[in-house]
Each structure stands twice: as C-alpha cells, then as structure tokens.
Amino acid sequence: MLKLFIINLTLCMTLFANCAHASVYEDLARFHEFQGFSAAELQEIKNSSVQNESGNAVAVCVKQPEFACYIITKNQLTDVSVVEALNLSKLGTSAHSDYERVETKPTAWISSDAETHTIEFSTLAWREGQRYSAKEVVVIQQGQYIQR
C-alpha cells in the first residue's frame, strides 16, 4: 500500500507541477476516454486545460484518437464536444472537413458553484490561408451539459 502511495505521489509530482490541484487531473486516468495516453500527452492535456478557482473541476480537449472536449469534476465526466461544431457554425459551416486546420480549447472558467459550471471554449479555424475564431460558453448543471 505504501509503495502504491509513493508511486502515485511521484506521478503527481512528475506530471503536475501543482499537486494541490492534482486530484482532478488524477481523475483523468480513471475514465476510459483518457486510457492509453503517454505521460507527455497527459502533460499536454493539462497544459491546455482550464481549472475552476477551487481546483476541483477542469475543462480539457483532446485531439486523439478523435477530437473531444470534457468537463471533469470529482467522479464525473461530461462530454461537451459539440462546442466545436457550434463554434464552427458561427464561421459559416460546421463541417470540420471544410477547414485546413481546427483547434478548440477551453479558454476561461467563467464561474462555478456547487451545481453549475460555466466555461468558455474558443475555436480557431483556418480556411484558404485565413484564420477565423469563435467562442462559445458551455454551462454544466448537475453534471449535464445545458445547450443554449
């Protein structure tokens, strides 16, 4: 048991510079959506994530094996991947294939309370050499994604 604790502490210190908030990141490994990522890939996910002020919830996007965005709170993962299509539709078409490159990530944690989290996601899309951007606010209430 002590050996397992030491391994977990080492992992925390290696992957996450701020171990005070590592618990929400440690939760990533519990979900099958995050199985198979290397330590470097998990670090990249962490670096592009946004946490709420208390550090008990995080918003992340992953590119592999397929694009997906999630809000992770203790013991719960909420898929909000549709945010990319919503942002792309603001640019004229929601078809990912209509763009040369698309990047979506959480950019701001707007607010949080016991039951509701509000997070901003931004999408950058390139088409015919031009870069376009759009933002969408995501609201999670009691673990459910509330669409506009």
Structure tokens at 62: 């992953």
Question: What is the model's pLDDT at position 4?
Answer: 33
Question: What is the model's pLDDT at position 90?
Answer: 95
**pLDDT tens digits for the chain (148 residues)?**
333 333 343 334 344 444 444 567 766 777 878 778 888 888 888 889 999 998 889 999 998 778 899 999 877 899 999 999 999 999 988 888 899 999 999 999 999 988 899 999 999 999 999 999 999 999 999 889 987 6
CA distance 83 to 68: 9
Question: What is the model's pLDDT at position 75?
Answer: 78
CA distance 41 to 11: 14
Question: What is the model's pLDDT at position 22?
Answer: 54
CA distance 75 to 69: 17
Question: What is the model's pLDDT at position 91?
Answer: 93
CA distance 122 to 21: 24
Question: What is the model's pLDDT at position 46?
Answer: 87
What type of residue sits at position 40? A
Domain that holds residue 12: 2-146
Number of domains in the chain: 1
